[in-house]
C-alpha cells in the first residue's frame, strides 16, 4: 500500500498527462486511510489472540490450583507415605515374630520327655517339605518329601489330633501321614520320630494352609423309559 501514490503518478504519466496537486493529495490521503485501517485490524487481531492466550493460561492455572488443593486435602486425611511404610514394616515384623515364636514353641514340645543327652535322628528333615495333601471320605492325609531315604518310625499331630505316618516301598524318600478330618485354615503340622524307649522327638514343624475340601459332584441315576405293550 505504501507504493500506491507512486503507481498513481506513473499511471498519469503513461496516460500523457501529469497529475494535479489535488489528485496527488487525494491519493496520499486514501493510502493513509487504508494503512490506518490495516493497522487497526492488525491491532485488533493481536488483542484477540492475546486475550485468548491469556484465557487459556488462566484456565490452566485454575486447574493446577484445583489439583493442588485436592492433593493437599488427601494428604491431610491420609497418613504420610513414610508413616504408611513404617506401619507396613512393623506389621510384617510382628507377623514374622509371631511365626517364629509359634515355630519355636512347637520345637520345644515333645509328646513325651526326651531321654537325657543330645537327641539323634534317623533321618535328616532339614530340607523336607509338604509335598501334597488330600481329603478322604473319613479323613485327611498329607505327604512329606525328603532328600534321602526315610528311616525310623513316625507320627504327626495337627491341632492335637494324631496322624499315622508310613513309607511306601515305591517311594522310600516320602512319608505318608493319614489321620482324621480337620478344619481348613493355617495349621501347625508337627512330625515326631517314635523312639524305642517309648518317647518321641520332634523332627519337623511347618505352618501349612489347609484348603477346604472339594466335594465330588453327586451322580444321579437316569431313569430308563419304558414302553407299554398292549
pLDDT at 193: 94
pLDDT at 110: 44
pLDDT at 61: 74
pLDDT at 161: 94
pLDDT at 123: 87
What's the pLDDT tens digit per position in 156-179?
999 999 999 999 999 999 999 999
All residue ranges of the chain with pLDDT < 50 are 74, 78, 110-112, 114
pLDDT at 72: 59
* Cα–Cα distance measured from residue 129 to residue 175, given in angstroms and rounded to the nearest whole number: 10
Amino acid at each position: 500500500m505504501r507504493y500506491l501514490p507512486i503507481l498513481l503518478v506513473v499511471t498519469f504519466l503513461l496516460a500523457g498527462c501529469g497529475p494535479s496537486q489535488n489528485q496527488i493529495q487525494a491519493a496520499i490521503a486514501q493510502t493513509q486511510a487504508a494503512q490506518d485501517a490495516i493497522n487497526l485490524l492488525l491491532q485488533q487481531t493481536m488483542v484477540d489472540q492475546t486475550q485468548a492466550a491469556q484465557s487459556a493460561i488462566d484456565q490452566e492455572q485454575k486447574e493446577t490450583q484445583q489439583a493442588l488443593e485436592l492433593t493437599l486435602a488427601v494428604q491431610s486425611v491420609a497418613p504420610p507415605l513414610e508413616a504408611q511404610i513404617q506401619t507396613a514394616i512393623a506389621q510384617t515384623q510382628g507377623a514374622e515374630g509371631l511365626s517364629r515364636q509359634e515355630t519355636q514353641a512347637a520345637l520345644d514340645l515333645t509328646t513325651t520327655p526326651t531321654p537325657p543327652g543330645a537327641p539323634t535322628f534317623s533321618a535328616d528333615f532339614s530340607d523336607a517339605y509338604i509335598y501334597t495333601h488330600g481329603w478322604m471320605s473319613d479323613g485327611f492325609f498329607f505327604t512329606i518329601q525328603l532328600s534321602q531315604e526315610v528311616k525310623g518310625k513316625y507320627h504327626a499331630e495337627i491341632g492335637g489330633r494324631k496322624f499315622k505316618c508310613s513309607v511306601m516301598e515305591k517311594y522310600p524318600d516320602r512319608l505318608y501321614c493319614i489321620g482324621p478330618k480337620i478344619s481348613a485354615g493355617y495349621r501347625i503340622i508337627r512330625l515326631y520320630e517314635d523312639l524305642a524307649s517309648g518317647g518321641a522327638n520332634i523332627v519337623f514343624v511347618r505352618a501349612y494352609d489347609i484348603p477346604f475340601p472339594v466335594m465330588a459332584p453327586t451322580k444321579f441315576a437316569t431313569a430308563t423309559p419304558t414302553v407299554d405293550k398292549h
